[in-house]
Structure 1
Amino acid sequence: MSRFVMTAAAQMGPIARAETRADCVKRLVEMMREAKARGSELVVFPELALTTFFPRWMIEDEAELDSFYETEMPSAQTMPLFDEAKKLGVGFYLGFAELVVENGVKRRYNTSILVDRTGNIVGKYRKVHLPGTSEPIPGRVLHHLEKRYFEPGDLGFPVWRAFGGVMGMCICNDRRWPEVYRVMGLQAVDMVMLGYNTPFDHVGEVAMDALSLFHNHLSMQAGAYQNATWVVGTAKCGNEEGSKMLGQSVIIAPSGEIVAQSVTVEDEVITAKCDLDMGKRYRETIFDFARHRRPEHYGLIVERTGAIPPPE
């Protein structure tokens, strides 16, 4: 019997720097209600869905910087989203900036959580692959300072049993790294959820930046197909405080095919009926790792081809 999960990607348009948590949560609740009305039981929201993308600025006042982070989840400001999820019987993935204090030291992470249909948190992930720089690049008005404001995640790439399947999470730049999908693929993941905030000029090389939309989908489609998993990629997009960010949120099948895609750079809900057993069929044939994957020979391949030069 097939395992179907009606899934929504709830794309967000720009979040202004002046918007409050309450403003953002209201938008999220409205999209959750729309997703429910269309039959969804799982909603994937973007990375940093509660604030503007603050790493684009150099922020030297620590109190101001702290204001962009969540110190508890749920909080009084985000509780309406959890309450609505429980009321509607809809689960969700949510990205946000997390601040924790451990042994008197502040630790900052780019984080996502998975919440089940009863409003309970069942999983947490912290972004591992942080793009950008830790110092501003001279001559640029808008920066990409994730390495300054976050540290690499310390939770690895676990999976969780929820929504009738095996669910995984990653965030934004993680989607470009094949090992992210493979680690979860080796755990028989059925669906990988990821939110992103990606500016068109993040590389600073015109020819590469012009391919941003192509590379966005390429990485997710390859990850889906090569690991026999659904991938749901949800953007925060549009012109946010002068930074143009790409949209084209997608739901991708284990075949690598895009089955739903957004058409705006505003708040928009897209949905798909995801058959989790579709991935199982690929894992039992083309990507049966136990029968076909041979990691014990990878070292021999490298040695024979000279792909890595011997030490001097």
Structure 2
Amino acid sequence: MARIVHTASAQMGPIAKSETRRDTVKRLVALMREAKGRGAELVVFTELALVTFFPRWLIEDEAELDSYYERQMPGPDTQPLFDEARKLGIGFYLGYAELVVEDGRKRRFNTSILVDRSGGIVGKYRKVHLPGHAAPQPGRRHQHLEKRYFEPGNLGFPVWRAFDGVMGMCICNDRRWPETYRVMGLQGVEMVMLGYNTPYDHTGHPDIDGLTQFHNHLSMQAGAYQNATWVIGTAKCGIEEGSNMVGQSVIVAPSGEIVAMAVSLEDEIITARCDLDLGRRYRETIFDFARHREPEAYRLIVERKGAVPPAA
């Protein structure tokens, strides 16, 4: 019997700095309702879906900085999203800034959660590959200070059994790193959900930045194909507080093919009928890790890396 998950990617247009959480949650609820109306049972929201992308600014007042983070999930402002999910019988992935006290100190993470159809949290992920800088860079119109405002995630890349399959999560820059998908792929992941807030000027090199849209899709398609998994990529996009951000939210099949893509730079729902068994064909043939993957060879390469002469 086929395992079909009708899935939606809920792209978001810009969130203004002045926009309240309650207003933003209303937008999320509206997207959730549209997704449900189109038959979805799982909707993937974006990275930092509750606030504007605040790492573009140097924020030195700690109280102001703390205002962008969630101390609990759900909280008073986000509870309506969970209530609506329970009412509609739809699950969701949500990215947000998390503030917690762990190991006796205040800690900040770029976080996502997976919520089931009953409104219960199935799992939590914290972004591992933080881009940008810890200190402001001269000459930049917009900063990218994720390394200042977040710690690298400390939960690894776990997977969860939910929606009749094996589900994984990652966030934004994680999508560019093959280890992200491979660690989950070795655990049999069948769907990877990720949200991203990616500006066009994120490297400062015009030749690289000009390929931002290409690299965005390349990384997700390669990760999907090489690990035989669905990938649901959801953007925050448009011109947000003067920063031009990439859209092109996609749903990618285990074949590496894009089966749905957003066409606007606004709030937009795209959907696909995701057959989780489609990945099995690739895991039993081309990417049968047990038969074809050679971890011993990789270990030897790592051990011998000192024998390779350094570049001149």
TM-score between the two structures when normalised by the length of structure 1:
0.97
Query: Could you list the runs of 4 or more consecutive aligned residues of structure 1 that deviate by over 3 angstroms after TM superposition?
Result: 299-310
Which amino acid counterpart does residue 137 of structure 2 have in structure 1? I
Offset at residue 105 of structure 1 (A): 1.4
Offset at residue 103 of structure 1 (A): 4.5
Which amino acid counterpart does residue 17 of structure 1 have in structure 2? K
Q: Which moved more, 1:69-78 or 1:277-286?
A: 277-286
Task: Give me the whole-angstrom Cα distance separating, in 1, the residues matched to 2:296 and 2:55.
Answer: 41
Matching residue of 2:155: 155
Matching residue of 2:139: 139
Task: Give me the whole-angstrom Cα distance separating, in 2, the residues matched to 1:295 and 1:102.
Answer: 35
Q: Which moved more, 1:40-49 or 1:94-103?
A: 94-103
Matching residue of 2:233: 233
Q: Does 1:224 find its partner at 2:201?
A: no
Task: Give me the whole-angstrom Cα distance separating, in 1, the residues matched to 2:147 and 2:199.
Answer: 16
Q: Name the SS for the 1:219 alignment partner.
A: helix
Task: Give me the whole-angstrom Cα distance separating, in 2, the residues matched to 1:206 and 1:273.
Answer: 37
Q: Name the SS for the 1:188 alignment partner.
A: coil
Q: Deviations over 1:54-91 (max 9, x none)?
A: 00000000000000000000001000000000000000
Matching residue of 1:53: 53
Aligned residues: 310
Task: Give me the whole-angstrom Cα distance separating, in 2, the residues matched to 1:24 and 1:196.
Answer: 17
Query: Structure 2 regions of 5+ residues with no counterpart?
Result: none
Q: Does 1:119 find its partner at 2:106?
A: no
Matching residue of 2:94: 94
Q: Name the SS for the 1:125 alignment partner.
A: strand
Task: Give me the whole-angstrom Cα distance separating, in 2, the residues matched to 1:44 and 1:169.
Answer: 10
Change (3 A) 1:25 1:295: same
Matching residue of 1:256: 256
Which amino acid counterpart does residue 165 of structure 1 have in structure 2? G
Matching residue of 2:11: 11
Offset at residue 129 of structure 1 (A): 0.3
Task: Give me the whole-angstrom Cα distance separating, in 2, the residues matched to 1:102 and 1:125.
Answer: 16
Task: Give me the whole-angstrom Cα distance separating, in 1, the residues matched to 2:152 and 2:301.
Answer: 31
Q: Name the SS for the 2:141 alignment partner.
A: coil
Task: Give me the whole-angstrom Cα distance separating, in 1, the residues matched to 2:168 and 2:261.
Answer: 20
Offset at residue 298 of structure 1 (A): 2.4
Query: Structure 1 regions of 5+ residues with no counterpart?
Result: none
Offset at residue 309 of structure 1 (A): 3.4
Q: State the identity %.
A: 78
- In the alignment, is the contact (CA less than 8 A) between 1:110 and 1:126 conserved in 2? yes
Task: Give me the whole-angstrom Cα distance separating, in 1, the residues matched to 2:65 and 2:307.
Answer: 45
Which amino acid counterpart does residue 62 of structure 2 have in structure 1? E
Offset at residue 250 of structure 1 (A): 0.2
Q: Give RMSD over aligned pairs.
A: 1.4
Matching residue of 1:200: 200
Q: Deviations over 1:137-168 (max 9, x none)?
A: 01223100000000000000000000000000
Matching residue of 2:270: 270
Task: Give me the whole-angstrom Cα distance separating, in 1, the residues matched to 2:105 and 2:303.
Answer: 45
Q: Does 1:44 find its partner at 2:44?
A: yes
Task: Give me the whole-angstrom Cα distance separating, in 2, the residues matched to 1:232 and 1:299.
Answer: 32
Matching residue of 2:242: 242
Q: How does 1:183-194 map to 2 (within 5 A)?
A: 183-194=183-194
Q: Name the SS for the 2:201 alignment partner.
A: coil
Which amino acid counterpart does residue 81 of structure 1 have in structure 2? L
- In the alignment, is the contact (CA less than 8 A) between 1:228 and 1:279 conserved in 2? yes
Q: Does 1:73 find its partner at 2:73?
A: yes
Task: Give me the whole-angstrom Cα distance separating, in 2, the residues matched to 1:25 and 1:307.
Answer: 55
Offset at residue 119 of structure 1 (A): 0.1
Q: Which moved more, 1:297-306 or 1:241-250?
A: 297-306
Which amino acid counterpart does residue 223 of structure 1 have in structure 2? G
- In the alignment, is the contact (CA less than 8 A) between 1:302 and 1:308 conserved in 2? no
TM-score between the two structures when normalised by the length of structure 2:
0.97
Task: Give me the whole-angstrom Cα distance separating, in 1, the residues matched to 2:252 and 2:110.
Answer: 24
Change (3 A) 1:29 1:308: farther
Q: Name the SS for the 2:187 alignment partner.
A: coil
- In the alignment, is the contact (CA less than 8 A) between 1:231 and 1:251 conserved in 2? yes
Offset at residue 299 of structure 1 (A): 4.0
Q: Does 1:178 find its partner at 2:170?
A: no
Offset at residue 222 of structure 1 (A): 0.2
